[in-house]
Chains A and B, each alone.
Chain A
């Protein structure tokens, strides 16, 4: 198998820890950030890991981690650097827009002249939960794009990827350069080592203004979902089954 240096970019997003109860902010259009912990989201971590594994296999490769947002996203870029990425790019914006197309436009403007062989994204970020930015960047850059990959090999200017969708499995082949979005199951993200954390402090991290278009989406309201009506435990063990069937037939009318 040919080994040749590849230039890789990974676009990452800093998201809050989802394991909490959220509160809506006083402005009703944002989530109250008090007490929230933020980190690189899991899908993006798998994307970074995929890039690092390719770098490990292809001597001379370079991985750039890119993130858009306020200054605090530099922490997230540094996390990518601690994992082993080589350089970081911070696209400055006061807020991360909800509008994935706006984000994709700004990222595409940055990536266009980068000469990247492979541009990786997580399939989705759990906060905005749209899962669109990677595919949109692919379109804007007019590059081949494969979304939701759970297997990846690169050799000699081409790649193969596995996708698992709705019960079917697909193996696809694509030329480089290409855009990929990463799904669960591709890999397990490495934890930054102590050495990695120290080394990251010295790696280059450029910061420049993001070229964001006017967003076409505006969040006009955030609210907590209505509580489901409390149900009931109808009984214990197999003895409760007849009652359940009766209720499903007569009350819920689903049987």
Chain B
């Protein structure tokens, strides 16, 4: 059914998940690399899990246990740990402390404690100080760069003997019956037409007794597993897109700042953040739900505009943007969690499972804690020599009995409430939800996927970047460190019937300028992709591509 005039429904233009490529029944190749436990994705969840498991095994070996040598592997698609990691971030150190009880807070890779915080409501020219909503209170937490956290965790993992394989994206799950037996990586060195160039490397198979999917937001294999095993959730997962920059500034910032209001449209859910990283370095960004209501809503542009607001301009003027990036965040909360996050030989952790609490913008400590629960479960399974779902269900029980589930439950309706169109009424509802700790308006609110939200076709608001404070997508992508080779095959699966309006939607949806509308047709530049996954949510399907492609974040 085509779109109605003046409207676009993104879901009808999306290609389905290519399950036949993502779930393989092939026997693993004879040269397969054998691992015992494999973490797919080297972010906080995967690394914390690998570390926790290595710690448990080490303690067991020292106590005379009989596990023998256990090979733990972490597969990471970026060329180096941290290069694809991006977050605000203000971190709750609870998981770090649990993982490293022998260390002190000052030993952790954080930038500094949150000392002051402010929330403002913005109009185009003014900023009104607001009382900090209880969900956004960050006192006692730490400002951090997730890249630095990941690199630090990586070092700890390697010191414990964890095998970290960077530049190896997992392209498919290897399966036998209902069991996940490992993964197959992507090939590299293919030309745009699919021919093998001189640097061609074929895919590698890795077998594992347990595969932990720690792929992060909108993980491809995680989605494939859930669809293949027909695991549902009460509500579909929904996403926000965060676009972030790091600036070197002459004016110091003394507080963690959050804003609501302008330039986020009234019918969109989102806001901005500005955090001091050091005396002259700040992180700022905007996070907006992908259920926005117009084809030309452009979140990268919203970030550029907000920098012109006096509140931001004052700090950024005569500074310099040193990094830029973007990433989606799962926002569905409690009711969007898959009903089962484990199976035969597999567990899902972190953002890939949806463990993010959007009202407080927190996910890193949930990711790490879930990884640690998966580690505990994996350890018990290895000891029992039983890695079937019956044993691995311990993982779900641990998560359900922990602060992960209880935090998400208390805030379960806050985001979803905003899918309604009246922002202020929703704010009132959410305020009451907050005050009542979830007791009021606690009934589950039914929600739809972002792609099922109809968008009105409106002409784009004109926007000319000045190249000093505001930047075009092309300039921005350059600052993400993206040096993907130009003739890489396209990893994006474009769906049916791409009208000019759909092309326009894609051009504004993608922060990295992968999509352009050229007259009536869609032009795709896949090398620009920075793996934020917005495309997978609203537009062409994202699939894993050659290792080392994409951004090279350093301090995001």
Contact = CB atoms under 8 A, between A and B. Distances in A.
Interface string A179-191: 0000000001011
A202 interface: no
Nearest to B548: A191
A53 interface: no
B554 A191 contact: no
A21 interface: yes
Nearest to A201: B163
Interface in A82-133: none
B368 to A, nearest CB: 22
Contacts of A188: 198-199
B188 A19 contact: no
Contacts of A237: none
A185 to B, nearest CB: 12
Interface residues of B, number: 20
Nearest to A36: B554
Contacts of B167: 191
Contact of A193 (B80, B201, B322): B201
B483 A195 contact: no
Contact of A191 (B33, B199, B555): B199
B80 A35 contact: no
Nearest to A38: B80
A197 interface: yes
A29 interface: no
Contact of B163 (A19, A20, A191, A197): A197
A236 B320 CA distance: 28
A255 interface: no
Interface in A17-33: 19-21
B181 interface: no
A37 interface: yes
Contacts, number: 33
B338 interface: no
A15 to B, nearest CB: 15
B388 interface: no
Interface in B419-468: none
Interface in B21-77: 31, 33
B199 A37 contact: no
Given A37-B80, A188-B199, A19 B481 contact: yes
Interface in B314-334: 322
A20 B483 CA distance: 13
Contacts of A19: 481, 483, 552
Given A19-B481, A188-B198, A194 B165 contact: yes
Interface string B169-199: 0000000000000000100100000000011
Given A37-B80, A188-B199, A190-B199, A195 B322 contact: no
B334 to A, nearest CB: 37
A191 B322 contact: no
Given A195-B33, A197-B163, A198-B33, A20 B554 contact: yes
A84 B357 CA distance: 46
Nearest to B80: A37
Interface in A190-208: 190-191, 193-195, 197-198, 201
Nearest to A192: B167
A140 B168 CA distance: 42
Contacts of A201: 163
Given A188-B198, A190-B199, A195 B163 contact: no
Nearest to B555: A35
Contacts of A197: 163, 165
Contacts of A195: 31, 33, 204
A192 B165 CA distance: 10
A7 B196 CA distance: 32
Contact of B168 (A20, A190, A194, A198): A194
B522 interface: no
A119 to B, nearest CB: 26
A182 B549 CA distance: 27
B206 interface: yes
Nearest to B204: A194
Interface of B: 31, 33, 80, 163, 165, 167-168, 185, 188, 198-199, 201, 204, 206, 322, 481, 483, 552, 554-555
Interface of A: 19-21, 35, 37, 188, 190-191, 193-195, 197-198, 201
Given A37-B80, A197-B165, 17 more contacts: A21-B322, A35-B555, A190-B201, A191-B167, A191-B201, A193-B201, A193-B204, A194-B168, A194-B185, A194-B206, A195-B31, A195-B33, A195-B204, A197-B163, A198-B33, A198-B163, A201-B163
26 contacts: A19-B481, A19-B552, A20-B554, A21-B322, A35-B554, A35-B555, A188-B198, A188-B199, A190-B199, A190-B201, A191-B167, A191-B188, A191-B199, A191-B201, A193-B204, A194-B165, A194-B168, A194-B204, A194-B206, A195-B31, A195-B33, A195-B204, A197-B163, A197-B165, A198-B33, A198-B163
Closest 4 CB pairs of A and B: A194-B204, A194-B33, A188-B199, A35-B554
